[in-house]
Chain A
Amino acid sequence: MDIFLQQIFNGLTLGSIYALVALGYTMVYGIMGLINFAHGEVVMIGALVALAVMAPLAGSGLPGPLVVLIGLAAAVLVCMALGATIERIAYRPLRNAPRLAPLITAIGVSIVLQQLAMLIWGRRYHSVPRLLPDAPHEIFGATITEVQILIMVVAALTMAGLMLLVNRTKMGRAMRATAESPAIAALMGVDANRIIMLTFVIGSGLGALAGVLVAANYGIAHYHMGFLLGLKAFTAAVLGGIGNLPGAMVGGLLLGVIEALGAGYIGDLTGGVLGSNYQDVFAFFVLIVVLIFRPSGLMGEKVAERA
């Protein structure tokens, strides 16, 4: 039982991060119908930028959480600028092009970001200084650290804030209108270009936050961390129903828990034939199963065959 609870805790922590990244995918998809392949790499850049800022400050005597906040601020700013640049260079000129074109530029952007990160930060794994309180607490026989609690709380607050932004503000209304129909939104005086860019900027900011949280959770960061994380977060977005914000959150948490439980129990279930080194397979397995049985996701609307 305590293993079960332990894996649930781990899964929820991981799932909160997936959810934050998934929001970036789902927001862009909701507005433009485009899979922003480069989003995972934006998350990676966020983590590494934050690390670059935090590492020199870590020994300066400033309190740990303050250093993390400074690192986070830097990461969010850099990623927001990056998001806006990517949209401007790689996606905007192709808005009316065939579907394949923006997908291919997106792959190009993610290769460029990954290689730039490798040139700047090298191939090695960077260890992240422990700046946040990580004292373990025991709940019903399972251990949960303060960092894990912090990750869940921060993710939940951020998502609540995003929901308020989208559902209660004028800008949010403009975003929803653009998602519904860019042409009609434009007739109502919405500057679609600005809204799309804002969507990218907000999604990238969330990605930066997620990157910092991942780095804090695992204590390491490297140039290749964005790929798998992005793929899994995309799976989470599809699981919840792509284009649907609450769906991305539910999908992220669910995927995190599935993965943690899967990794925890696969050895017992298969009599030791498969081990926890198959953890990464679960996400893809979930993705394929969802696409076969419920392609619109848990909370999404029906997906048209091809617009």
Chain B
Amino acid sequence: MKKLPNAPERKRALLGTALIAVALAVLPLVVAGTLGNTWVRILDYALLYIILALGLNIVVGFAGLLDLGYIAFYAVGAYLYALLASPHFGIHWPAWAILPLGAIVAGFFGVVLGAPTLRLRGDYLAIVTLGFGEIIRIFLNNLNAPVNITNGPKGIALIDPIRIGGHSLSAPLDLFGVTVPGVVLHYYLFVLLAVGIVFVGIRLQDSRIGRAWVAIREDEIAAKACGIDTRNVKLLAFAMGASFGGVAGGLFASFQQFVSPESFGLLESVMVLCMVVLGGMGNIPGVILGGLLLTLLPEAFRYGAGPVQQVLLGRVLLDPESLRMLLFGVALIAVMLYRPAGLWPEARHRRELAEAAAEKKA
């Protein structure tokens, strides 16, 4: 039972929130000052991945539906933004119109894909979503003839950046004599959105729908017997996860100002899934941790693995890129075997595991 917070506790919670807010606000400035703008850019990507992972967490973590083609919704959002705000078609809609549209279109794709497959066993869903992810990529790659829609493997360039009050986010901003670079401006936008999505996620988790999702994840037949319309509730999870992906895709397109089919391969889907699974399925702080770890560590690895091998072995023996993927694979297996609920598991999971352990002992 959750206790109502009393006055000192509420004060502490407020203080904690304020501290986190200050930390989030100062972070990019500190990083830009010490490690340089490259790392602020990496932080921006980390935030995009966190938004993606939070979306996938609704599908995989809350509702227990394994989606292996999640990146396809990201691609839908990104290409929608690219087509509606670039010289490719000469259309330049404002971001504030395209991002919600991206959410709706991606959600629609989620429903179209989910409707036929959600009646089936979970593993079929995994395969169909995997196939869907590939189909989207194949179409993006080939829809440049006979009518050039996606510009094929070359991708779409010169995408409009997001503008706030007439100022483009990709240009540095002069604020009281201090120049704030574009990556830092993007950081603030992404942090705001990520915080918003975390808030939505937390509210969803405790809502009627959120509890229905957990019920379905734990035992679908029992959930049905309790009067939950499992099909529609699952579809809702699917659509909602997809629309988060669509928004993240739009942000990605505007931030990078370039999209190509290459960014939306299966490995990206697996990456996002890894974040959710390694961090702790269903647990929002865990998923954020997973997202941070899996974007920052590989970057550190990219800069570190080559030189370290150079020093230890005298030459670069193993390609850092494949070494990184190799470690991902091993980590996925190891986490499932030894920490099946992830690094920072959901309280419910932790309780279940403790109970199971106690039963074993008895």
Contacts and interface: CB of A to CB of B under 8 A. Distances in A.
A157 interface: no
A280 interface: yes
B326 A116 contact: yes
B258 interface: no
Contacts of A280: 134, 138
A108 B134 contact: no
A273 B336 CA distance: 46
Interface string B308-337: 000000000011001101101111110011
Given A100-B122, A103-B126, A107-B270, A112 B131 contact: no
Given A97-B340, A281-B135, A291 B322 contact: no
Interface string B235-279: 000000000000000000000000000000010001001000100
Given A227-B266, A277-B142, A99 B128 contact: no
B130 interface: yes
B64 A100 contact: yes
Interface residues of B, number: 48
Contact of B119 (A90, A102, A115, A305): A305
Interface string B114-141: 0011011111101110111011001101
Interface string B151-165: 000000000000000
Interface string A228-244: 10010011001000000
A119 B331 CA distance: 18
Interface in A256-277: 272-273, 275, 277
B66 interface: yes
Given A97-B340, A105-B336, A281-B138, A303 B120 contact: yes
SS of B interface (majority): helix
A259 to B, nearest CB: 13
Contacts of B131: 231, 235, 283-284, 287-288
A103 B318 CA distance: 28
A104 B266 contact: no
Contacts of B5: none
A79 B134 CA distance: 27
A149 interface: no
A101 interface: yes
Contact of A90 (B122, B146, B319, B333): B333
B346 interface: no
A278 interface: yes
Given A288-B131, A291-B120, A303-B121, A111 B329 contact: yes
A220 interface: no
Interface in A57-102: 89-90, 93-94, 97-102
Q: Which of B120, B124, B323, B329 counts the most A-chain CB atoms under 10 A from its CB?
A: B329
Contacts of A90: 333, 337
B219 to A, nearest CB: 9
Given A93-B337, A116-B326, A107 B332 contact: yes
Given A89-B333, A291-B124, A305-B220, A115 B326 contact: yes
Contacts of A228: 134
B322 A287 contact: no
A1 interface: no
B336 A119 contact: no
A275 B60 CA distance: 36
A247 to B, nearest CB: 15
Contacts of A281: 135, 138-139
Contacts of B126: 35, 103
Nearest to B276: A104
Interface string B45-72: 0000000000000001000101010000
Interface string B193-214: 0000000000000000000000
B234 to A, nearest CB: 11
Given A101-B340, A105-B333, A119-B326, A35 B319 contact: no
B329 A108 contact: yes
A226 B68 CA distance: 17
Nearest to B331: A108
A212 B340 CA distance: 37
A284 B333 contact: no
Contacts of A283: 131
Q: Which of A101, A112, A116, A278 counts the most B-chain CB atoms under 10 A from its CB?
A: A112
A291 to B, nearest CB: 6
B132 A108 contact: no
Interface in A117-151: 118-119
A188 interface: no
A35 B333 contact: no
B328 A295 contact: no
Contact of A94 (B221, B325, B332, B336): B336
Interface string A31-57: 000110000000000000000000000
A228 to B, nearest CB: 8
B357 to A, nearest CB: 14
A187 interface: no
A119 to B, nearest CB: 6
A234 B130 CA distance: 12
Nearest to B134: A284
A291 B121 CA distance: 11
A231 B130 contact: yes
Given A287-B131, A307-B121, 19 more contacts: A90-B337, A93-B337, A94-B337, A100-B64, A100-B122, A101-B336, A105-B333, A107-B68, A110-B329, A111-B326, A112-B326, A119-B319, A227-B266, A231-B127, A272-B146, A277-B138, A284-B134, A285-B135, A288-B132
5 contacts: A98-B340, A103-B126, A104-B336, A238-B124, A287-B131
The 9 closest A-B CB pairs, nearest first, are: A108-B332, A111-B329, A284-B131, A112-B329, A108-B333, A115-B326, A292-B116, A108-B329, A115-B322
Interface of A: 34-35, 89-90, 93-94, 97-105, 107-112, 114-116, 118-119, 227-228, 231, 234-235, 238, 272-273, 275, 277-278, 280-281, 283-285, 287-288, 291-292, 295, 303-307
